[in-house]
Amino acid sequence: DAGITQSPRHKVTETGTPVTLRCHQTENHRYMYWYRQDPGHGLRLIHYSYGVKDTDKGEVSDGYSVSRSKTEDFLLTLESATSSQTSVYFCAISGLAGVDEQFFGPGTRLTVL
Amino acid sequence: GENVEQHPSTLSVQEGDSAVIKCTYSDSASNYFPWYKQELGKGPQLIIDIRSNVGEKKDQRIAVTLNKTAKHFSLHITETQPEDSAVYFCAAIMEYGNKLVFGAGTILRVKS
């Protein structure tokens, strides 16, 4: 998985609780992304980062925030989890060999009850 | 913004046959089109990609074709094997920023 780890790999939480997912890379890539994957929707971009402390919104950013204080770490936070945020979350990186190719982590399965 | 449609949603083929998955995109400025393979419980893996300055690219049993005029691109897998069974996603890069827009995916089943 191109030196990308995600933690936790599985999480069950309750509606209204805050949740933070972590993506860690050892590849020194500039760009990092958070996607969610849901049946029938493919992968949809939540937020992305183009450098330390530089982030921008994606297609489905409502209810999510991100932070990137170091090149290697990109955090996704659900401030108050809802059942509609039950999904599989993938982190991706790009930008060393080229700005286009993205490489994905193993994913985090999040269930919000 | 960019929109990517992918067909079919499921595809069953006999081992040894060919499989073709097609995608269309809406943004004529898109210039990068990757294909990903996702096995159960894993993250998507880039298998082949094509840029808008070429019409076809091959890598062993896998090929991708691009028709910029018609705004569609296709994945071709020849001599399919059971290990080709997976979900395949096409994508196109948006004009601004390194943001990919994905198709909804195709479940490929190769029957032995």
Task: Look at B6 and A42 and tell me if their CB atoms are within 8 Å.
Answer: yes
**How does residue A96 score in pLDDT terms, banded at 50, 70 and 90?**
low
**How does residue A100 score in pLDDT terms, banded at 50, 70 and 90?**
confident
Please tell me the predicted confidence (pLDDT) of residue B19: 98
- To probe the interface with A, which of B98, B102, B106, B107 has the most A CB atoms within 10 Å? B98
φ and ψ of B60, to 5 deg: 60, -115
Q: Across residues A86-103, what is the average pLDDT?
A: 84
Q: pLDDT, tens digit, for every residue of B37-73?
A: 999 999 999 999 998 888 999 999 999 999 999 999 9
**How does residue A2 score in pLDDT terms, banded at 50, 70 and 90?**
low
pLDDT more than 90, % of chain B:
81
Q: Is the pLDDT of residue B31 over 90?
A: no
Q: Is the pLDDT of residue A108 over 90?
A: yes
Q: Is the pLDDT of residue A98 over 60?
A: no
Q: Is the pLDDT of residue B1 over 80?
A: no
How far off is chain A from B87, nearest CA to CA, in Å? Answer: 10
The residue type found at B84 is D
Integer Cα distance of B85 and A80 in angstroms: 37
- For residues A4 and A104, is the Cβ–Cβ distance under 8 A? yes
Structure tokens at A23: 């993506």
Q: Which residues of A touch B105 (CB under 8 A)?
A: 42
Residue B59: Cβ within 10 Å count:
10
Q: pLDDT, tens digit, for every residue of A37-83?
A: 998 888 999 999 989 999 999 989 999 999 999 999 999 999 999 99
How far off is chain B from A99, nearest CA to CA, in Å? Answer: 7
Q: Is the pLDDT of residue B18 over 80?
A: yes
- For residues B21 and B11, is the Cβ–Cβ distance under 8 A? yes
Please tell me the predicted confidence (pLDDT) of residue A1: 54
